[in-house]
């Protein structure tokens, strides 16, 4: 009987202590703390900064802060998408020039905006915050969110610009009044820039062939030819939508629009916003078929 009692006690005592143990409470991370752990950092100008801080510098460098809030939101989403794709979510460095995206430091912004620095800085920060982690995707992948300053009635297609047909970078209508610039070149200046020895008469017989978006596709002078894109780059013209006027002194070149013309027109986005179009409508116009989605930073950071 004593042996049986001892066995029962030996069996029950551990159960008693197990039941009496209190589980150690696990601290739950707040959503803000989790988001901080998953923050994306961008390598630019030899340093590394948080993505949103980087985007402030990009919006300041790429779009006038005086533009409508919906246009700034569209630029924020396009710039975020471009940066994440180009850097592979922060793994690679990005250039701070037009080669990638223009980025202005806080010192540069203060110098540029001076007395309205706080106003413009807050306006840009609000546009970025309002778009959260939104990006543009096509078939589940980040798009190449190209943009430019101004178009003339319609944008350029990726196929015309680079030879690659991209579904979401087609030619679409753009409602803004295009930026127009007139530049004069003497024949000597033209020969220097084009690396030629062409006569004034040869320039007078210049032939311009336009593509389906009314931009210059081919320039032919005598037996020499250039694509519109090459000619624009050699003469440092604002766009490939141009016309020329010949005189005995040289050529007058009139350009319409500013930039390569592919993707979102920034002045067009502003004109649409002023007409009451939302950020969604602006992006749907300039990137047909692309979707606006929330990027999962935690998922991407986990891959690194």
Per-residue pLDDT of the chain (304 residues; tens, 9 = 90+): 444 444 444 444 444 434 443 444 444 544 454 555 689 999 999 999 999 999 999 999 999 999 999 999 999 999 999 999 999 999 999 999 999 999 999 999 999 999 999 999 999 999 999 999 999 999 999 999 999 999 999 999 999 999 999 999 999 999 999 999 999 999 999 999 999 999 999 999 999 999 999 999 999 999 999 999 999 999 999 999 999 999 999 999 999 999 999 999 999 999 999 999 999 999 999 999 999 999 999 887 666 5
Which pLDDT score, from 0 to 100, does residue 302 have? 61
Task: Judge if pTM exceeds 0.75.
Answer: yes
Helix (H, G, I), strand (E, B) or coil at 101: coil
Nearest to 256 by CA among 162, 98, 171, 149: 149
24 CA to centre of own chain: 48
Asked if 155 and 286 touch (Cβ cutoff 8 Å), the reply is: yes
**151 vs 178: CA distance, rounded Å:** 6
**250 vs 84: CA distance, rounded Å:** 46
**Dihedral over Cα of 75, 81, 82, 83: its sign:** positive
Residues 6+ apart with CB under 8 A from 122: none
Nearest to 251 by CA among 175, 181, 184: 184
- Residue 39 sits at φ, ψ, to 5 deg, of -65, 140
Burial class (CB in 10 A: 0-12, 13-18, 19+), 28: exposed
Which pLDDT score, from 0 to 100, does residue 36 have? 58
Which pLDDT score, from 0 to 100, does residue 44 have? 96
Which pLDDT score, from 0 to 100, does residue 37 have? 65
**230 vs 78: CA distance, rounded Å:** 27
Which pLDDT score, from 0 to 100, does residue 83 have? 98
Which pLDDT score, from 0 to 100, does residue 125 have? 98
**253 vs 40: CA distance, rounded Å:** 44
46 CA to centre of own chain: 20
**166 vs 151: CA distance, rounded Å:** 19
């Amino acid at each position: 009987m004593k042996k049986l009692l001892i066995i029962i006690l030996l069996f029950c005592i551990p159960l008693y202590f197990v039941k009496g143990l209190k589980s150690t409470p696990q601290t739950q991370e707040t959503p803000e703390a989790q988001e901080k752990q998953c923050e994306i950092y961008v390598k630019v100008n030899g340093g590394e900064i948080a993505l949103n801080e980087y985007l402030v510098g990009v919006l300041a460098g790429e779009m006038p802060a005086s533009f409508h809030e919906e246009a700034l939101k569209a630029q924020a989403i396009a710039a975020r998408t471009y940066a994440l794709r180009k850097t592979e979510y922060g793994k690679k460095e990005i250039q701070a020039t037009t080669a990638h995206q223009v980025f202005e430091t806080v010192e540069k912004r203060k110098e540029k905006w001076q007395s309205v620095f706080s106003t413009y800085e807050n306006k840009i920060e609000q546009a970025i915050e309002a778009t959260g982690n939104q990006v543009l995707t096509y078939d589940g992948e980040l798009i190449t969110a190209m943009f430019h300053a101004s178009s003339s009635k319609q944008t350029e297609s990726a196929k015309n610009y680079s030879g690659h047909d991209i579904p979401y970078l087609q030619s679409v209508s753009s409602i803004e009044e295009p930026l127009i610039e007139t530049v004069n070149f003497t024949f000597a200046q033209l020969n220097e820039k084009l690396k030629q020895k062409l006569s004034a008469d040869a320039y007078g017989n210049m032939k311009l062939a336009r593509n389906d978006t009314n931009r210059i596709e081919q320039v032919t002078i005598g037996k020499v030819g250039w694509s519109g894109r090459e000619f624009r780059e050699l003469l440092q013209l604002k766009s490939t939508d141009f016309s020329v006027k010949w005189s005995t002194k040289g050529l007058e070149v009139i350009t319409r629009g500013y930039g390569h013309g592919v993707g979102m027109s920034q002045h067009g986005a502003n004109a649409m916003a002023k007409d009451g179009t939302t950020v969604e409508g602006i992006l749907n116009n300039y990137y047909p078929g692309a979707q606006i989605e929330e990027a999962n930073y935690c998922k991407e950071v986990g891959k690194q």
